[in-house]
Amino acid sequence: MVRIVGIAGSLRTESYTQIALSLASQRVEALGADIEILDLRQMQLPFCNGEKEYPDYPDVQRMRDAVSSADGLILATPEYHGGVSGVLKNALDLMSFDQLSDKVVGLISVLGGQPNSNALNDLRLIMRWVHAWVIPEQIGIGQAWKVFSPEGKLLDEKLSQRFDEFAQSLVDNTRKLRNL
């Protein structure tokens, strides 16, 4: 069975990024994958200082263990000042090649303004650097306040189809690249 871990780089209570990750996770799960969401809002992670161990922060090891045991990842980020959120970047920096290499990764970015791919490109570079495999399908959501209903449902059918294609690609490519 394909095992996916999802991480969203937003600490906001009413986060569109968290909603997007949840929607992607539901679609991946509907395809038979096992999914675990690591909610950074509920974890105590230090700022990365380059240490190998963080004994005062057990959530670092919990995150590393979850990612190590996963076949793939969904990384979702709000786009802040034209790039990936510091929260997600810090979480990734707390991990190493040991956890991230050979993972199959799907990327999602969410922003309040016009859609672009800056944060997605940032994440592609980071994932390539740690020898992960990023799927070609990605989701970039601009003007997020227009895209979701108050209940967190997608209002745009084309975007809903993109979530389906994203989920299918993540599961299929994870099976292929991880020999599952």
pLDDT at 116: 80
**Amino acid letter, 177:** L
User: Is pLDDT larger for residue 151 or for residue 135?
Assistant: 135
Both tokens assigned to 159: 């975007």
Q: How far apart are CA 106 and CA 115, in angstroms?
A: 18
pLDDT at 112: 86
Both tokens assigned to 160: 């809903």
Question: Tell me: the pLDDT tens digits for 27-61?
Answer: 999 999 999 999 999 999 999 999 999 999 999 99
The continuous run of DSSP H or E covering 24 comes out as: helix 16-30
Q: What percent of the chain has pLDDT over 90?
A: 90
Q: How far apart are CA 46 and CA 61, in angstroms?
A: 12
Question: Tell me: the pLDDT tens digits for 82-117?
Answer: 899 999 999 999 999 999 999 999 999 999 888 788
- Average pLDDT for residues 12-17, to the nearest whole number? 92
Q: How far apart are CA 45 and CA 94, in angstroms?
A: 8
pLDDT at 170 over 80: yes
Mean of the per-residue pLDDT values for the chain? 95
Q: How far apart are CA 12 and CA 21, in angstroms?
A: 13
Output the domain CATH number for residue 89: 3.40.50.360
pLDDT at 26: 97
Which structural domain range is residue 16 located in? Answer: 3-177
Please state the domain count of the chain: 1
Measured CA distances, 74 to 59, 108, 152 (Å) = 19, 8, 18
pLDDT at 180: 76
> β-strands 34-38, 133-141: how paired?
unpaired
